[in-house]
């Protein structure tokens, strides 16, 4: 059945970020809607941010587009242009290869949620704008390195 019941799907917590960056993701979780529905060409996730949580480290993707739409509460988009408040129904787009590092922060006292849809490229590189870190993903495996390629 094509309809996906969000309330029946598991909520994923935790992060793949290495220490010490992993602790920055406390209060962030997600629901893997696309995976639950069997999608293979793009990902679709509902990201849940508790008060004061952030969606990720500020980053940009080499090969994958991203689309975000706020579905509950308010978040602040932080990117190379500064800070932009976003509410329900507002959207942001991040084309592959655009080096505008971005993430979302919930600065309210209420839970916030947004839908993020992104390409599932065969291989991907994401670069973290504010720290010396990047990730390479290929064949379902990932490796974090410094920006010069050396191990973390």
pLDDT at 30 > cutoff 80: yes
43 occurs within a structural domain: yes
136 occurs within a structural domain: no
According to DSSP, residue 75 is labeled: E
Residue pair 86/70 in contact (Cβ under 8 Å)? The answer is yes
What tens digit of pLDDT does each residue of 106-152 get?
Answer: 999 999 999 999 999 999 999 999 999 999 999 889 999 999 999 99
According to DSSP, residue 58 is labeled: S
pTM score: 0.95
Looking at residue 42, its pLDDT comes to 96
Q: How many domains does the chain have?
A: 1
What tens digit of pLDDT does each residue of 40-72 get?
Answer: 999 999 999 999 999 999 999 999 999 999 999
Specify the DSSP element, H or E, that contains 148: none
Alpha-carbon Rg for the chain in angstroms: 15
114 occurs within a structural domain: yes
């Amino acid at each position: 059945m094509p309809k996906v019941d969000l309330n029946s799907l598991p909520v994923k917590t935790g992060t793949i970020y290495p220490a010490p960056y992993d602790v920055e993701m406390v209060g962030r979780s997600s629901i893997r809607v696309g995976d639950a529905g069997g999608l293979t060409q793009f990902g679709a996730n509902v990201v849940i941010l508790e008060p004061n949580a952030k969606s990720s480290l500020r980053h940009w993707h080499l090969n994958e587009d991203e689309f975000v739409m706020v579905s509950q509460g308010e978040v602040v988009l932080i990117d190379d242009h500064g800070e932009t408040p976003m509410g329900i129904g507002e959207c942001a787009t991040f084309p592959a290869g655009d080096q505008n590092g971005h993430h979302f922060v919930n600065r309210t006292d209420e839970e916030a949620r947004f839908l993020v849809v992104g390409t599932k490229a065969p291989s991907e590189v994401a670069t973290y704008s504010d720290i010396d870190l990047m990730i390479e993903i290929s064949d379902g495996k990932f490796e974090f390195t410094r920006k010069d390629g050396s191990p973390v």
